[in-house]
Amino acid sequence: GMSLEDELNASNEYYLKNQQAVIHKKPVPIQIVQVDYPKRSAAVIKEAYFKQASTTDYNGVYKGYYLDFEAKETRNQTSFPLNNFHPHQVKHMQACVQQGGICFTIIKFSSTQELFLLPAAVLFRYWEKRTTNRKSIPKKVISSQGFPINYEYQPLIPYLTKVDLLIEELK
């Protein structure tokens, strides 16, 4: 099967083609150090480094709102481990929310193929308490405070219908 990222890329392509939203996967910032040119037409990167920690997976614009989100898969069946997030990712989302952006995570429980859109506010609550409290978000919380997403044909992951609900909450 496709990875969550492939599924989202296909969905974002659909949204772009149908002029519903402009959302792209962010490229990973890489510093190329050494390149070999065995022949004119083929360059081979021999050495490269990550320039800095990347922020989140996706960002873009929808209905005049800035969206910024992370895509995460887990094999866990009852909870989502917080160590799947890096501190700089959460910090980036907090900064975006502070500027009026809409941030969330799309979580896929791969064993059951269940998808949820989890608002950033829920992630932040558990993130703040991760050192003193539990180190994961219970699936019960994700399903009750997040939004289930059902796979469809076009787009495969119709997550913007759930973003509409977040926009309603902002109004």
What's the pLDDT tens digit per position in 117-155? 999 999 999 999 988 888 999 999 999 999 999 999 999
- Looking up tokens 């919380």, which residue turns up? 141
CA–CA–CA angle 73, 66, 164 (5° rounding): 70
pTM, 2 dp: 0.87
- Looking up tokens 């787009």, which residue turns up? 155
- Looking up tokens 């490269």, which residue turns up? 48
Coarse DSSP helix, strand, coil percentages of the chain, rounded to the nearest 5 percent:
35, 35, 30
Task: Please give the Cα distance from 110 to 5 (Å, whole number).
Answer: 13
Task: Please give the Cα distance from 107 to 116 (Å, whole number).
Answer: 5
- Using only C-alpha atoms, the chain has a radius of gyration, in whole angstroms, of 18
Determine contact, residues 47/33, Cβ cutoff 8 Å.
Answer: yes
What's the pLDDT tens digit per position in 2-38? 699 999 999 999 999 999 999 999 877 788 888 888 8
pLDDT of residue 96: 95
Task: Please give the Cα distance from 79 to 76 (Å, whole number).
Answer: 6
Is the bond leading into 87 cis (omega within 30 degrees of zero)? Answer: no
Q: Which domains does the chain have, with CATH numbers?
A: 4-25+45-170 (3.40.1350.10)
